[in-house]
Amino acid sequence: MTVLDGCILIVLGIASGIAVGSGVIALFIVLDMIPRLAQLTRSYDKAYAYEGAMIAGSFVGTVADLWNLKVYGLPIISIFVGLLCGIFIGLLAAALTEVLNVLPILAKRLGMKSYLFGLLMAMVFGKVAGSLFDWFVYTR
């Protein structure tokens, strides 16, 4: 690899990172996910902490993926971290769904207003079953 190839890779990497990061931040800003999460949890005073946690998590995740970092520890720690990651993804999906009002519109259009809770539970159990299948059967 020449110096020119290295410089081109650096510029492309930085440009790609800016593009992806801008897209994620635009998603959070346009959909008002952080303010809505603060509103749902009644923790308006912690909105800056939510924003800082999102930025720090994105940065740490990017660095860990880029350098292929691994953290070794007890299996119970992995279970705890996995639980926290699942809670985060669930809250993020709930905030996105809440902002877009997807479920009420879907239930109204399908004529399932009285079955909204069942529809939500079917989505939750479907996601859990799909994840368990992926972890324990498909990727084995």
Confidence category of residue 102, pLDDT binned at 50, 70, 90: low
Q: How many CB atoms lie within 10 A of CB 109?
A: 8
pLDDT tier at 140, thresholds 50, 70, 90: low
The Cβ-side half-sphere exposure at 9, using a 13 Å CA radius, reads: 6
Give the list of residues 6+ apart from residue 63 with CB closer than 8 angstroms, or none. 69
pLDDT of 100: 63
Give the pLDDT confidence of 8-35 residue by residue, as tens digits: 888 888 888 777 777 777 777 767 778 8
> What pLDDT digit, counting tens, does each position of 54-80 carry?
888 878 877 887 888 887 888 888 889
Q: How many whole angstroms separate alpha carbon 45 and alpha carbon 1?
A: 51
DSSP 44: G
